[in-house]
Amino acid sequence: MIFNNYDDTGTATYTPSISASIVYPTDCSTTNSIYVKKWIDISTNASIYHAKGKCTGATTPCSYCDFWLGEDSTGSISKKYILKASYTWANDYNNYHNWSVVPAVPVSPSQRLRQILQSRQAPSIITSRTPVRAAAEGREIRARQTLRRMLGDDGFQRFLRNGFVSVQAHSGKVYQIYPGHGMTIVYLNGKPIEKLCVVLEGNFTPTDHLITRYVMILHDEDHFRASANVFAAPLRRTAAIRQLDTRSLPQIFHDIKAAA
């Protein structure tokens, strides 16, 4: 089904929960359509989107035309995204891009029950940190290899576990840097003092954004701050406590069977 289309001479915001932030690269001038498929990770119920383009004039496969879109850096599924087109097509070239969505794969009752059983095999851990997901794209894998070499194995493992990189600059401030378009949180003496937002223009991988911020901060944090939009310090977060399903397994089985 046709999901939506837009005129790429401007920027349009869409309310459906399609997760995409696409800036057309000029290298891809022959691309005349992009299709997005929605997939569900059945282990986490997270949505993942696969965008595929039609690159009619290219002689070699183009990575811009076939890539995976993750969630934002916080892992929020419900967040609405902005579809942005920075590229203006020449003359009367087709100005519209069709977006199609394949309905999410439903989770079967047996899979659902299996998930519940698995989730009960260990104590529930409450954490406000979102681990980094496995990289699905070649460019992102390379960027993470670079980051790993820079941070070392221990630092990289912390990044995977926590979803951010912490670095102490010359001033003594600690910067908590997130991949993608996530804001950098600045701490002084253990307290958050502000949030800074710097992004790379264009379709760079989330880890490339992080590497750029990391290098800028280490080199000249004043320049980094001058390049950023500055926001007030975030309130100290309290981890949202997930409501545990306290029903007994027979009761869950009965409910699932009734709903099927």
Partner 1 sequence: MIADFIEVPVIDGGPSVRIPVPPLLRVLDGVVPPPRHGIFQVMNRCDGDKRVVWNSDSLAEIQAAKEMFDNLKKEGLTPYRVGVGGKAMSDKMDEFDPMAEQVLFLPLKLAKRG
Residues engaged in binding partner 1 (CB under 8 A) = 25-27, 63-64, 86, 138-143, 145-146, 148-152, 154-155, 167-168, 181, 183, 197-205, 208, 211-212, 214-216, 218-220, 227-229
Minimum Å gap between C-beta 62 and partner 1 is: 8
Minimum Å gap between C-beta 58 and partner 1 is: 12
Decide whether 106 or 202 has the Cβ nearer to partner 1.
202
- d(CA 152, CA 132) in angstroms, rounded, equals 17
Minimum Å gap between C-beta 216 and partner 1 is: 7
- d(CA 54, CA 31) in angstroms, rounded, equals 5
Decide whether 38 or 210 has the Cβ nearer to partner 1.
210
Minimum Å gap between C-beta 181 and partner 1 is: 6
Minimum Å gap between C-beta 60 and partner 1 is: 11
Decide whether 18 or 28 has the Cβ nearer to partner 1.
28
Long-range contacts made by residues 53-62, C-beta under 8 angstroms, separation at least 24?
53/28, 55/28, 55/30, 55/31, 56/30, 56/31, 56/32, 57/29, 57/30, 58/30, 62/27, 62/28, 62/31
Q: Are 71 and 132 in contact (CB under 8 A)?
A: no
The phi, psi pair for 17, rounded to 5°, reads -85, 35
The terminus-to-terminus CA distance of the chain in angstroms comes to 26
Give the residue among 88, 86, 78 at the shortest CA–CA distance from 203: 86
Minimum Å gap between C-beta 190 and partner 1 is: 19
Residue 85 carries which side chain, given as an amino acid letter? Answer: A
Decide whether 112 or 148 has the Cβ nearer to partner 1.
148
Q: Residue 22's CB: how many other CB atoms inside 10 A? A: 22
Per DSSP, helices labelled H in 26-179 are: 109-119, 138-162
Q: Residue 49's CB: how many other CB atoms inside 10 A? A: 18
Decide whether 113 or 233 has the Cβ nearer to partner 1.
233
Decide whether 6 or 224 has the Cβ nearer to partner 1.
224
Minimum Å gap between C-beta 106 and partner 1 is: 34
Decide whether 18 or 143 has the Cβ nearer to partner 1.
143
